[in-house]
Amino acid sequence: MFVRRTKSGSVILAVHVDDILLTGSDSVALAETKEYLKRHFVTKKMGRPTYFLGIEVAYQKHDLLLSQRKYTLDLLEETGMLGCKPVSTLMEINVDLWCDGSHLLDDPRQQRRLIGKLIYLTVTRPDITFAVGVLSKFMDQPKEVHWTAALGILAYIKSSPWKRFVVQEIWTCSYFWLF
């Protein structure tokens, strides 16, 4: 992610492999950046993005709606939680995640992968950020209680996999694909 601040606003360039998302609030600096990219790279203007790095993008008047619905449904399916009963609360209040009575997981890699995927989901689901952050503290030696809590987060997101994060007052948005 590259950010250029100008007197009139800013230009943001998000790069992932051969995809670039270019946006900004300074139309002059944005046009200059587009021209610079055209001079130095073979580019193809793709228009407004609808999907970028697993994030679905929708436009509504002056708002930008971000969602990871497909990512969420894929995560639920991958973990066998697609058919689970949704819950309305994120974590149980009286769960002691620091308890010593719970056994260590036989394979901690599964918990680490799940927490990593949940961390990525926080891009559009700030409502799970705190709970995922707490569970990430136990990635060194995850226990059964941590796995159960992570599954609880999945049951919570099952209740609203389509939930969107709204970015208000969107900027001009262009999308370039580099070859």
**52: CB partners within 8 A, 6+ apart:** 14, 16, 19, 21, 175
Report pTM: 0.78
Could you tell me the residue ranges of all domains in the chain? 2-66+164-178, 69-158
Is the separation of the CB atoms in 38 and 45 below 8 Å?
A: no
The pLDDT-based confidence of 96 (bands split at 50, 70, 90) is confident
Retrieve residue 20's tokens: 């670039």
Element (H, E) at 96: none
For 30-64, write each residue's pLDDT tens digit. 899 989 998 998 888 788 888 888 889 888 877 77
pLDDT at 179 over 50: no
For 152-176, write each residue's pLDDT tens digit. 999 999 998 778 777 665 555 555 5
